[in-house]
Structure 1
Amino acid sequence: MPENNEIEVRSEEVQEILSYVPNWMVRWGNTLFFLLILMLFFISWFIKYPDIINAEVILTTKIPPQKEYARVSGKIDTILVRDAQNVIKNQPLAIIENTADYSDVFLLKSIIDTIKVQKESFLFPINDLPILFIGDIEASYDSFEDNYIKYVLNKDLDPFSHEVNANRISTSELKRRLSNMQSQKRLNEKELKFKKKDLERSKSLFGKGVISEKEYELKQLDFLQSERSYKNMNTSISQLRESISNNKRTSKGTEIAKVREEMTLLKNVIQSFNQLRKSVKDWEMKYLLISEINGKVSFLNYWSKNQTVSQGDLVFTIIPRNNSAFIAKLKTPSQNLGKVKVGQVVHIKLDNYPDYEFGVLKGIVNNISEISNKEGFYTIDVSLPKNLVTSYNKDIIFKQEMRGAAEIITEDLRLIQRLFYQLTKIFNR
C-alpha cells in the first residue's frame, strides 16, 4: 500500500508540472502563431514559378524539306539525278515505268509551255513534231491534232470566201443592170409622154374629121404598146432590186456563217489544247517525280532503275539549300494549352544532343494553331533567335527533322494563388 500511495503522489506532481502554463506563452503564443501564419502568406505571395508544358518537337526550316512519294505502283524506269546532287525547282528526278517515251513527253511539254493562247488566233508547230510515243496522252493529242488541222485548213483555204466573192460579183452585175434599166426607164417615160401628146392631137383631129378612125386607132395602139413597155420596165427594175437585196442578205449570212465557223473551230482547238495540257500534267503527276524546291536530293530506299515502288512509298527527299531560317514545330496536347501564349520561352532538348552535355536551344512561341489535327494535337511554331547555339554556347549541326522534347515556360503564378486554386477545386467538389 505505501508503494501505491507513493506512485499516486508522484503522478499528481507530474500532472501539476505538465498542466502548468507559463505566463509568457499565454501572452505571446497566439500572437506568434498569427505572425507565423502571416509570414507564410507573405512568403507565398512572393514565391512564384511558372508551369511547364511538355511537347514533342521537330526541328526544321521555314522552307521544309520536300518529300517525294510514288503516286503509282511500278518499276522505276529512269533515275535522272544522283544522290546528294543539287537540284533546282521543277527538275525531273525519276520516271516510273509507263507506256510513254518520257523524252517525247518532255518534248511535247516544252512546246506546250511556250504556247500563249490568244482569243483571235492559235498557232502550234504541229508539222515540226516527229512521231510521238506518249502513252496515256495519245487520245488527247489525237483530238487536238484533228481540231487543229480543221482550224488551219479553214483558215488557209477560206471556203466561205468563194461564196462571198461570187455574191459580191453578182450584186455588182445586178447593180449595173439596174443602172442601165433605170436609164432606159427614163427614156421610155419621155417617149410615153410624147406619144400621149401625139394621141391627144390625133384625137382632136379625128374629132374634126381630119384623120380616119383607123389612123386614130393606130395611134392608140402605139401609145398602149409604149405604156406596156414602160410598166414592164418598172417590173424588171423592181425584180432587180429584190435580187440585189437577196444577194446582200445571202452575203451577210455567209459572213455570219464564216465568223461562226471560225469561232467554233478556234474554240474547239483551244479546248482540245487545254485538255492536252491537262493530260500532260496528269502524266507528270502520275509517273514523274520532280523537285519542287531548290536543294539537295537525298536517296532513301530506292537508288537504281528497275526497283519496284509501291504507291505512297517515300522515294526522294529534297533538302532546301538555305538553312538559315530554322523553326521548331511543337506537337502539343490540348491539356493546359490555354496557358500558352505568343512570346513565351521554350526550351528544346534534342534527342541527338543530350541536354546535360550540350545544353538546350531557346526559342520563342510565334504561332499557335487554331484547330487540332486528327490526333487531337495542336501545332505551335517556335522561332530560334540564336539559331542553333545552345545555352552552353555550343553549335548544333543541323539535320532535317531532328526530334526531341520541348518545355514551354508559361507565365509565373504565385504560390498563394496555386493554394487558392487548389482549395477552390476541393470545395467545388
Structure 2
Amino acid sequence: MDKREIRLRSEAIQELMGRVPHWMVRWGNSLILILIVGVLVISYVIKYPNSITAKVLVTTTNPTQNMYAPITGNLAEVNVKDGQMVEENALLTTFSNNETDKSIRASNTGQVHFVDFWKTGMPVKKGELLFRIVPTDYGAYIGRLELPHHLKMKIDEGDQVRIRIAKDQLMEFEMLEGVVQNITAIANEKGAFQVEIAIGDALVSESGKKIDYQLGMSGTADIITEDLRLIERFFYRLKDIFND
C-alpha cells in the first residue's frame, strides 16, 4: 500500500507540475507582444543612415589670402607694417634682382600678417610665403573635400552633412551640420572631384556652442546618402536576401 500510494501521489504531483497556469500563459504572451512592439518602436526611432566619410577643410567664401614672392631677389621696399589694415590693391612690397622689378599688392581688404621680420634689402626666393591677409569679413563658412568618381556618383546636392572637428583643434569634440551645395563635373589633376559644403554664417555646433574659426581648421565629414531608419535597413536587407 505504501509503495502504491507513493507512486500515485508522485504521478499526481508530476501532472500538477506539468500543467502551466492560464494566468502565466496570458502574461507570458503579453510580455512577448510588448517586447516585439518595443523592438519595432526602437527600430523606427533609431536612424542608421548610409553615409560617405571623407576628410574636410573648413574655410570661408572670403578666405585668408597668402602672398608669395613672384621672383627671387631682394626686398626693395616694404610698404606696410605687421598687423596693418590695408585696402584691396594696396602696395605691400616691391622686389628687385637687377634684371626686373616686381611688386605685390593686396588681393583683398584685411589685416596684413608677416610670416617673417621682413625689412628692406632682405633676400627672398621665388614662391616664398611673405604675408597673409586676414579679411575683415569672412563671409559664409564652407567645407571643401575631394571624392573619387565612384563615391562622387553616390552623392547629390542637398545631401545632409555632419562634420566632426578634429579634437586637437578644439578643447572638446564638436559636431557641425552642413549641406552639399556644389559638386564639380570635371575631376582635378588627381582624378578627384571637388565637393563644397554650406555650413552657414556662423560656426555653431549641434549643442549650440559657437566655435571660433581657425585658419586651416579641418575634420571628418559624413555625407548622408540615405537617411534610413533601423527598421527600414532591416527590411531592405530581407528584400536583398529574397531577391538573391
Q: Tell me if TM exceeds 0.5.
A: yes
String of CA shifts for 1:153-196, please: whole Å, max 9, x gaps: xxxxxxxxxxxxxxxxxxxxxxxxxxxxxxxxxxxxxxxxxxxx
Q: Structure 2: give runs of 5+ residues left out of the alignment.
A: 1-35
AA aligned opposite 1:55 = A
Q: How far did residue 86 of structure 1 move?
A: 0.9
In structure 1, stretches of 5+ residues that fail to align are 1-38, 100-134, 137-282
Aligned residue pairs: how many?
Answer: 197
Partner SS, residue 339 of structure 1: coil
Deviation digits for residues 103-134 of structure 1 (CA, Å, limit 9, x no counterpart): xxxxxxxxxxxxxxxxxxxxxxxxxxxxxxxx
Instruction: Provide the rounded CA distance (Å) in 1 between the counterparts of 2:222 and 2:212.
Output: 21
Residue 419 of structure 1: how far off its partner (Å): 5.6
Residue identity (%): 32
Pair 1:349 & 2:168 matched: no
Larger relative contact order (CA 8 Å, sep ≥ 6):
1
Return the letter of the residue paired with 1:290. R
SS of 2:48 mapped into structure 1: strand
Task: In structure 2, give the amino acid aligned to 1:412.
Answer: D
CA distance in 1, matches of 2:148, 2:90: 39
For residues 335-346 of structure 1, the aligned pairs below 5 Å read: 335-346=150-161
Alignment of 1:87 with 2:62, yes or no, is no
Q: Which one has a bigger Cα radius of gyration? A: 1
In structure 1, what residue type is equivalent to 2:58?
Answer: L
* C-alpha distance in structure 1 between counterparts of 2:241 and 2:150, whole Å: 17
Structure 1: how far apart are the matches of 2:144 and 2:217?
A: 11
Tell me if structure 2 keeps the 8 A contact 1:60–1:329. Answer: yes
RMSD (Å), alpha carbons: 2.7
Q: 1:410 aligns with which of 213, 225, 230?
A: 225
User: What CA distance in whole angstroms lies between the structure 1 residues aligned with 2:82 and 2:183?
Assistant: 37
The alpha carbon displacement at 1:55 in A equals: 1.5
What aligned pairs does 1:189-200 form with structure 2 within 5 A after superposition? none
Any idea what SS the aligned residue of 1:380 has?
A: strand
Mapped partners of 1:66, 1:363: distance in 2? 24
- How far, CA to CA, are the matches of 1:421 and 1:374 in structure 2? 38
Structure 1 residues 313, 423: closer, same or farther in 2, change over 3 A? farther
Is residue 78–residue 92 contact of structure 2 (8 Å, CA) maintained in 1? yes
CA–CA separation in structure 2 for the residues paired with 1:55 and 1:422: 30
Q: Is the 8 A contact 1:364 1:383 kept in 2?
A: yes
Which one of 195, 202, 213 corresponds to residue 387 of structure 1?
202
CA distance in 2, matches of 1:68, 1:96: 13
- Tell me the residue number matched to 2:131: 316
- 2:139 & 2:71 partners in 1: Cα distance? 35
Runs of 4+ in 1 over 4 A off after TM superposition: 45-48, 418-424
Determine if contact 1:56/1:332 at 8 Å carries over to the other structure.
Answer: no
- Give secondary structure in 2 for the equivalent of 1:336: helix
Give 1:394's aligned amino acid: K
Residues 358 and 394 in structure 1, CA contact (< 8 A), matched pair in contact too: no
